[in-house]
Amino acid sequence: MRRFAGQTVFVTGGNKGIGRGIAKRFAEEGAKVAIAAIEKDTPAAAEALANETGADVIGIVLDVTDAAAVRDAYGAAEAKLGAISVSVQNAGVITIAKVEDLTEREWDLNLDVNTKGVFLCCQEAIRRFRASGSKGRLINTASGQARQGFIYTPHYAASKFGVVGVTQSLAKELAREGITVNAICPGIIHTEMWDYNDRVWGQMLGEYGPGELMAEWVEGIPMGRAGTPAEVGALVAFLASEDAAYITGQTINVDGGLIMS
């Protein structure tokens, strides 16, 4: 399929993990893709994705918590690739700490990147959708922890519940303009972030060796396996397509049936 031929798609956190799976899916379907991430090697990641898919892909180093930087990044993407019609707010962080050890800095980092960053990118994308007359698509990455919080991560859970609230509010405000806003809740996905989760939660919850805690959690998934970034990318591509034109304000789990609500 080439559902996005000629379209420009902006993906934050698109240099690795779930974000790369999303960016790759759009590139494979004909889109021109801008990946934006805070890591300095983001342009190199974009070049690698372009070589892999044959698509037009650019990489932009971006701190999503900086409104001016967000504005400049979207401007740079449009200058090189054309008007943006899909924006995927995927950049995120997680830290894990017992409540008595959780610092204000950690709290602020999670809320700033995961919630404020989503809002700032949505805000800038909306401005550009309106300027170009596009019935754009906004897709925000929440988490299974936007459904139910987990031990040692109240700050992360709060940030992801916030993503759902932002999504619903914007969806209601923009519906009459034909701009849709939806969120996804990935579960356990094979990524570097889940390697971190397995290691740190494993140390805090008991004497788990590498991979043991994640394997225990995977046993609780009805499908019996973790997901892949490509499977998350497939859902995001659907939500960005014309087939999903009547879907807005929704939060959709992609977790093999782990959370059914």
Catalytic residues: 156
Nearest-5° Cα angle at 59, 227 to 115:
60
Closest to 182 in 3D by CA, of 225, 128, 231, 241? 241
CA distance 92 to 131: 28
> How far apart, in Å, are the Cα atoms of 177 and each of 10, 77, 180, 249, 260?
20, 23, 9, 14, 31
- φ, ψ at 66 (rounded to 5°): -105, 105
CA distance 20 to 26: 10
Tokens of 167: 């999504």
CA distance 10 to 46: 12
Strand partners, 57: 33
CA distance 109 to 155: 9
How is the beta sheet containing 8-12 ordered, strand by strand? Answer: 57-61, 32-37, 8-12, 84-89, 137-141, 180-186, 251-254
